[in-house]
Structure 1
Amino acid sequence: MFTDEQWARIEPLLPSNVGRPARPFGEHRRVVDGMAYRYRTGIPWRDLPVEVFGPWQTVWKRHRRYAQDGTWDRILTEILAQADAAGTIDWKISVDATISRAHQHATNTTRPDQDTGASSNHKNLASNGGEPAGHGIGRSRGGLTTTIHRAVDGKGRPLANIVSGGQRNDGVMLAEVLADIDVPRVGAGRPRTRPDAVLADKAYATGVNREMLRERSIRAVIPEKSSQINARKKRGSNGGRPPAFDAELYKDRNVVERSFSWSKQWRGLATRYDKLAITYRAGVTLNAILNWLQRLGDTP
């Protein structure tokens, strides 16, 4: 799953318990390859080929540990910091969400009647283990589903990933998705958290979102809904002017759709088999890391 060059980039960033009372980690590359292989193929953890990846319990336990302590988020953050220092991040970002059907193996946990819309991201990993009360599974028109909310840069490379219940509206999650963007500076300076522009479809065309972007001095490239256009026209001169919209720049929004298409080549992400939202999201983050490693040479 990883080339030698890609592995050389992330190996120094992986945790080690050498010198601690516990048994030292061994065969990092084989275990991490097992994690990626499992999500790419969508097979049960127990079916991982032992002769290739070692005991499945080792692969699973280390994945669970890395999901809990935020290892994959720290590695992605470091890769983003290096890319930003090299000037290869295109800060005209696109935001969207995609639905993944939850398999029956993911839904046989106790879930409350409410609160299935709670989300899991890297900022709440420290509190409550990052696990939302409803395990990020909700009931939508497609049944029991999970939604991945994502922001990508202008080249379609992931900057933020949030998992929520499938019934969660895309538009109400915009502020949380943007809050998940936090790219540290390699040298001195505060982390980069504000994109130059946000490209999003009509699901995000609310007054609340436009006002939030305006307050943060972020250019909004979001088309109006037909209902909003009609309501404004009915009010005549009192309806005000339509919001600014760059139709030419909006054509670039498709990069987020291509990003989801790339991610869902991994069958374990296209269908959610994980019971816990944080382990599923860890798989999404691992996929994002590989996306960046394969495309670090892309320029804005």
Structure 2
Amino acid sequence: MSRTEYLSDAQWALIEPMLPSSDGHKGRPFRNNRKVVEGIVYRYRAGVPWRDLPTEFGPWQTIWKRHRRYAGDGTWDEILATLLAHADSAGDINWTVSVDSTICRAHQHGTNLSRNTGGSVELQEPAHRTDDHALGRSRGGLGTKIHQLSDGNGRPLVVLVGPGQAADSPMFTYLIDALSVPRLGPGRPRTRPDAVLGDKAYSSKSNRALLRSRGIEAVIAEPDDQKRNRLRRGSRGGRPVRFDAEKYKGRNVVERSFAAVKQWRGLATRYDKLALTYRAGVLLSAVCAWLKRLAD
């Protein structure tokens, strides 16, 4: 394979039937769909402007428009959901999941849209459209946080983005609610992992109550200030939280997952103006991660 080819024939054969074959209207079907998808992958891997894509991928306008369309209509979400269904059917999903976030600095080319700086979640247009474009000013400047649920092997299950200054804990509910792995046969999608591993940022009564109400084991470290407050209140402070220190050692898989995401230079630094297309790039990297498992 050349440097401009990322997907193997087996991987492409797996996702090709899931991609739209036309623009949804009567007319000519898409041509060179594989080259277009390879162009999208190349752009995020190399971190180049869309206009600087090698000409062998075709017109850069076509590649950009196709990516914008797939981001807006949920194509990448649907492909990831289908791959997860196949993986779950084959027993390839480890349902001891880990949760965390990583911050990605925004390049000045991706920050020149008008926006507010409130904390919010960007899922997909138009249901969860926000006007901050998942950009926020934190200590290091403007940036975006990638929030993720990963399975016990470090492969992404849920991907959301939010502004860089937003705390991790309020995003936890959105991540858990977005977890839904379809069945290939009859039956409802699986929405409950066996356990959730999280660091001290996710330790709150509301998060623990959410997991308890759904019968999910919480393996979340408790901060020292919460311990002191509980002890200070005596019997009114409640019982100590359950914490499986041995199981918690597996939480590092989500950190390794983020390390793999940031191998794509266009994700490690955000160049996209729209949160919609930036999140779609992260979704595409998640799709590729699962393709390596399922097709190779």
Same fold by TM-score greater than 0.5: yes
Q: Which residue of 2 aligns with 1:23?
A: 28
TM-score normalized with structure 1 length: 0.94
Give the one of 3, 11, 18 matched to 2:8.
3
Return closer, same or farther for 1:230/1:280 CA change in 2, 3 Å cut-off: same
- The amino acid across from 1:71 in the alignment is T
- The amino acid across from 2:41 in the alignment is A
* 4+ residue runs over 3 A deviation: none
Give the one of 170, 181, 185 matched to 1:172.
170
Aligned length, in residue pairs = 291
Tell me if 1:241 matches 2:239: yes
Q: How far apart, in 1, do the equivalents of 2:294 and 2:169 lie?
A: 30
Q: How does 1:46-125 map to 2 (within 5 A)?
A: 46-50=51-55, 52-112=56-116, 114-115=117-118, 117-121=119-123, 124-125=124-125
Q: How far apart, in 2, do the equivalents of 1:18 and 1:257 lie?
A: 38
Return closer, same or farther for 1:31/1:226 CA change in 2, 3 Å cut-off: same
* Matched-pair contact (CA < 8 Å) for 2:14–2:295: no
Deviations 1:142-187 (A, max 9, x none): 1111010000000001000001111111011101011111111111
* Matched-pair contact (CA < 8 Å) for 2:11–2:295: no
Q: How does 1:182-201 map to 2 (within 5 A)?
A: 182-201=180-199
Q: How far apart, in 2, do the equivalents of 1:188 and 1:142 lie?
A: 48
Offset at 1:24? Answer: 1.8
Structure 2 unpaired stretches of 5+: 1-5
Q: How far apart, in 1, do the equivalents of 2:241 and 2:193 lie?
A: 19
Return closer, same or farther for 1:28/1:102 CA change in 2, 3 Å cut-off: same
TM-score normalized with structure 2 length: 0.95
% identical aligned pairs = 59
Offset at 1:139? Answer: 1.0
Q: Which residue of 2 aligns with 1:273?
A: 271
- The amino acid across from 1:101 in the alignment is R
Return closer, same or farther for 1:22/1:168 CA change in 2, 3 Å cut-off: farther
Q: Which residue of 1 aligns with 2:138?
A: 140
- The amino acid across from 1:281 in the alignment is R
Tell me if 1:207 matches 2:211: no
> What secondary structure, in the 3-state scheme, does the structure 2 residue paired with 1:198 have?
strand
Q: Which residue of 1 aligns with 2:40?
A: 35
Give the one of 159, 162, 178 matched to 2:160.
162
Q: How far apart, in 1, do the equivalents of 2:106 and 2:24 lie?
A: 40
Deviations 1:64-94 (A, max 9, x none): 1100111111000000011111111111100
Structure 1 unpaired stretches of 5+: none
Deviations 1:255-278 (A, max 9, x none): 000000000000000000000001
Offset at 1:297? Answer: 7.9
- The amino acid across from 2:226 in the alignment is Q
- The amino acid across from 1:278 in the alignment is L
Root-mean-square deviation (CA, aligned residues, Å) is 1.5
Return closer, same or farther for 1:255/1:19 CA change in 2, 3 Å cut-off: closer
* Matched-pair contact (CA < 8 Å) for 1:131–1:277: no
Deviations 1:176-212 (A, max 9, x none): 0111111111111111111110000000001111111
* Matched-pair contact (CA < 8 Å) for 1:269–1:284: yes
